[in-house]
């Protein structure tokens, strides 16, 4: 019996969220009295793989094959399912990101496993196996019992601390006979030069209260000083003021940065569904009764066009940024 964690890589590198997931998985393996095995698919060198051992992975199974040219959900599901069976895995952990969500649902069908998705904390209990997750756009928690023999859990990025341990990892090549990809990736267009919203530790976000796309300079300047990603509310992207990939909320990206600065955003429930797990929310709004202040850790009542440049200037003058 083992706990396995699928460690996604980006061009052969792991992100902080992979190490958070491993820390979570190692803790869960400890609770279950077993060890943690990681699956790595694709071209990751030994130095990078070894880093997983710093967070509690006992064994890494690396799957390398010339046919694995890009993430293909069907093929990756096939590989993870086969590894899980060979390892007699009882719990499979995956990041709650775009590809992780696709893999988890496919694996759940393939392995007839119950899935607990978007978790932010360790299971509430192990026997019975109960997890807690946010529901109704983050307005309530549900306790969900997973009754199947094999369980799949996805963990929200930025929701579990990194826990370093003594590194005793062993790395093994794992040869797996998987089905050929049915789809062919012809081109990949990568976003460059920007901090990805889903990875960002700090996010500066603007809403309709910014009044016009011409006013986004003050958001961009603060984001630059803070090394932050930029986000927006849905009407802003619907209006074409900002690209759709920046829209957060129920119908957009779900993020959990350490700091979320919401400027000119009313705090509608559908927006907050995507950002309410942020560790600290700072709201800037000229209406003292705006709902966003109910979610905010710090609130500034004022004109965002004046408040944002004042914060940028103060940060620059303080020399901390």
Whether residue 227 is preceded by a cis peptide bond, meaning omega within 30 degrees of 0, is: no
Q: CA-CA distance, 305 to 1, in Å (whole number)?
A: 57
Please identify, using beta-carbon distances, which residue of 82 and 208 lies nearer to ligand FAD. 208
| Strand order from edge to edge, sheet including 280-285 | 229-232, 202-206, 259-263, 280-285, 298-301
**Residues 77-106 as x/- pattern, contact with ligand FAD by CB under 6 A:** ------------------------------
Choose which of 285, 293, 308, 312 interacts with ligand FAD (CB under 6 A): 285
With CB under 6 A, what is the number of residues at the site for ligand FAD? 27
Among candidate residues 150, 159, 120, 139, the one with its CA nearest the CA of residue 20: 159
End-to-end CA distance of the chain: 49
User: Positive or negative, the Cα torsion across 275, 141, 151, 130?
Assistant: positive
Candidates 268, 282, 283, 311; binder of ligand FAD (CB under 6 A) is: 268
Per CB under 6 A, 304 contacts ligand FAD? yes
Radius of gyration of the chain (CA): 21
Exactly one of 271, 282, 283, 293 binds ligand FAD (CB under 6 A); that residue is 271
**Per-residue binder mask for ligand FAD (CB under 6 A), 205-244, x = binder:** --xxx-----------------------xxxx--------
Strands across the sheet containing 114-119: 114-119, 151-155, 89-95, 2-6, 36-41, 59-63, 170-173
Using the rule CB under 6 A, which residue among 53, 252, 257, 299 binds ligand FAD? 252
Alpha-carbon distance 128 to 20, whole Å? 25
Sign of the CA dihedral running 109, 110, 114, 115:
negative
Contact between 305 and ligand FAD per CB under 6 A: yes
266 sits near ligand FAD (criterion: CB under 6 A):
yes
In the bound state with ligand FAD, the residue whose beta carbon lies nearer, of 23 and 237, is: 237
Residue 249 interacts with ligand FAD (CB under 6 A)?
A: yes
Residues that bind ligand FAD (CB under 6 A): 207-209, 233-236, 247, 249-252, 264-266, 268, 270-271, 274, 284-287, 290, 303-305
């Amino acid at each position: 019996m083992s706990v396995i964690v699928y460690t996604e890589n980006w061009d052969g590198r792991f992100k902080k969220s992979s190490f958070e997931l491993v820390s979570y998985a190692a803790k869960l393996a400890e609770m279950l009295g077993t060890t943690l095995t990681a699956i790595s698919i694709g071209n990751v060198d030994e130095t990078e793989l070894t880093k997983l051992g710093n967070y509690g992975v006992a064994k890494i199974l690396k799957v390398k094959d010339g046919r694995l040219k890009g993430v293909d959900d069907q093929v990756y599901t096939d590989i993870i399912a086969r590894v899980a069976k060979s390892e007699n895995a009882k719990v499979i952990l995956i990041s709650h990101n775009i590809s992780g969500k696709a893999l988890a649902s496919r694996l759940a069908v393939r392995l007839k496993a119950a899935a607990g998705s978007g978790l932010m904390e360790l299971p509430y209990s192990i026997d019975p196996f109960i997890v807690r997750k946010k529901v109704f756009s983050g307005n309530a928690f549900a306790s969900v019992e997973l009754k199947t023999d094999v369980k799949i859990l996805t963990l929200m990025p930025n929701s579990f601390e990194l826990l370093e341990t003594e590194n005793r990892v062993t790395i093994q090549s794992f040869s797996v006979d998987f089905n050929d990809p049915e789809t062919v990736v012809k081109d990949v267009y990568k976003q460059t030069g920007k901090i990805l919203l889903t990875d960002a530790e700090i996010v500066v976000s603007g809403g309709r209260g910014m009044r016009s796309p011409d006013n986004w300079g003050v958001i961009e300047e603060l984001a630059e000083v803070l090394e932050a990603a930029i986000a927006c509310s849905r009407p802003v992207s619907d209006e074409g003021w900002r690209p759709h990939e920046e829209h957060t909320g129920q119908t957009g990206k779900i993020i959990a940065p350490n700091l979320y600065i919401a400027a000119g955003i009313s705090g509608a429930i559908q927006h907050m569904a995507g950002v309410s797990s942020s560790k600290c929310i700072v709201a800037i709004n000229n209406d003292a009764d705006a709902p966003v202040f109910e979610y905010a850790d710090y609130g500034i009542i004022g004109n965002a066009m004046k408040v944002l440049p004042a914060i940028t200037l103060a940060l620059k003058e303080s020399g901390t940024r």
